[in-house]
Chains A and B, each alone.
Chain A
């Protein structure tokens, strides 16, 4: 009875547009009160829920994103990729995807990349003969790889919540599935562009020297290497790797590109602090919700029920694909993990799924949800920048969803795509 109240109350608040953290916290606190438990569990959970050393990686990686957002790396990456790929049909669209993937290797959350890449490529793509809905679709799909290609804030939360999964292990495990997803999207984008004759129509193309644009872009291309390299070598923790990347980004911005001012530093600190607050407060208040679900014994019955459907490993996986993609349309990866992992992990244990691989597979599903219409976080951002309605993207974006589903199927069938890299790196 109290359990039904918990989920129903939470669902109603969520649909009514109440901030997800508040909905989680209040539903949890209300049930602590209904079940006659000590309400002191609320402040204790909130404080202990965020005062954790591994979570410090979140604000620091958010800061990395803010720093590189302002240095102008995305623009220089676009110029280099354009110089490299040329200007044929579908070329600029592939550039957008490639740049989003590199930006994904720097920043940790999708919508930010969606905005950064969208702002840089939209005008050029329009002039080159791409329809705006197609541009919004491409940017949103490409940016969705951001939570797969390390660093990823969703992965950090997963590793903190799941015993036996470390941040470096799941970062490495996300690398090839992320690249695979990006390639799948490029294939879809190229096919559409060739069939519909998109791109290669810009009258005023400036010729870019590959070497000159490379010299500018190399600083951005090196950022993922700085982040992953330092972590791989075991020099530093993920948090410290993020801070190294912050200082690297500041160096690039101040010394190399000379695009930053002290005012920018202050503004990026403010921006990163606000964004971190938005993420961390959900984590803090979700701890109250988790306290309720776990003490009311709600988690195991739901997991047992799903296992009891007797769909087998493949059937259950298929069910999870549909369910998580749908949830992913409405919510971001961090929120989804906080709410659903307590139920999902017993299922994974039942089928003896590797927890690191399972985390990657779940994140791929969430990534797909983030650009699947009618409702999707990344698509919303890219549509706003391209100034089109979300419905208008459906004829294009649906093919990219399909492409990424194929990539997901490959990772499900061949777990080695995820687990090989952390295995050889010795972090699994």
Chain B
């Protein structure tokens, strides 16, 4: 868990502001749907398409922040039994794999976005070009990779516990 660790050099505030905005927008869109449905004849149901994309954005930005702080769900029981040196190596290993996993999502997510662009895929509800939505996957996965790399450097320097 975090708290006492030094913050990364590129402040997490960037992701935090964006994901707070996305989270707030999701809540407001949903609330607006309920209010308009019961009080007016206007339907905002189409906005649900945006909410779902905002959720994907929140998921990946939240992942980036949690990666930088080492807060992801993992079994730390066995690692906890190791010596400090080994624990450090274990975390470096985990971060390398995190970079690999999200690196794959950068590359093949970009490929998916490209396919949706050239096949002219439209969204189900509003008929918007779908790559506007899917494109967030490779883009924000790249943010996760960079955050993992930053933490890896800090772990190897012995700054992050």
Residues in A lying within 8 Å of B, measured CB to CB: 13-23, 25-26, 29, 39-40, 42-44, 46-47, 50-53, 55-56, 59-60, 63, 235-236, 239-240, 243-244, 246-247, 266, 269-270, 272-282, 284-285, 330-332, 335, 375
Contact = CB atoms under 8 A, between A and B. Distances in A.
A236 B61 contact: no
B77 A47 contact: no
Given A42-B104, A244-B34, A270-B20, A18 B74 contact: yes
Contacts of B19: 269-270, 273-274, 277
A51 B56 contact: yes
Interface string B56-71: 1011111111100001
Given A60-B30, A272-B23, A22 B55 contact: no
Given A18-B97, A47-B134, A59-B55, A331 B75 contact: yes
Interface residues of B, number: 56
25 contacts: A18-B74, A25-B101, A29-B101, A42-B104, A43-B111, A43-B112, A46-B105, A47-B112, A47-B137, A56-B52, A56-B55, A59-B26, A59-B55, A60-B27, A235-B38, A240-B31, A240-B33, A269-B19, A270-B16, A273-B61, A276-B55, A277-B58, A277-B65, A277-B66, A278-B71
Interface in B58-104: 58-66, 71-79, 90-91, 93-94, 97-98, 100-101, 104
Contacts of B62: 273-278, 280-281
Interface of B: 16, 19-20, 22-24, 26-27, 30-31, 33-34, 38, 48, 51-53, 55-56, 58-66, 71-79, 90-91, 93-94, 97-98, 100-101, 104-105, 108-109, 111-112, 115, 133-134, 137-138
Choose among B26, B61, B64 the residue with the greatest number of A CB atoms under 10 Å from its CB.
Answer: B26
B141 to A, nearest CB: 9
A247 B31 contact: yes
A43 B109 contact: yes
Contact of B59 (A18, A39, A269, A284): A284
A16 B77 CA distance: 9
Main secondary structure of the interface of A (DSSP, over half): helix
A399 B138 CA distance: 49
Contact of B112 (A40, A269, A273, A274): A40
B99 to A, nearest CB: 9
Contacts of A20: 72-75
A63 B90 CA distance: 32
B30 A17 contact: no
B146 to A, nearest CB: 16
B5 to A, nearest CB: 15
B79 A239 contact: no
Contacts, number: 184
What 7 A-B pairs come out closest when comparing CB atoms?
A277-B62, A19-B72, A280-B59, A17-B79, A269-B20, A273-B19, A43-B109
A51 B20 CA distance: 19
Contacts of A51: 52-53, 55-56, 133
Nearest to B53: A51
Contacts of A52: 52
Contacts of A42: 104-105, 108
A19 B74 contact: yes
A56 B105 CA distance: 22
B1 to A, nearest CB: 9
B34 A19 contact: no
Contact of B66 (A56, A236, A278, A285): A278
Contact of B26 (A29, A56, A282): A56
Contacts of B65: 273-274, 277
B139 to A, nearest CB: 12
A285 B30 CA distance: 26
B22 A273 contact: yes
Contacts of B109: 43, 46-47
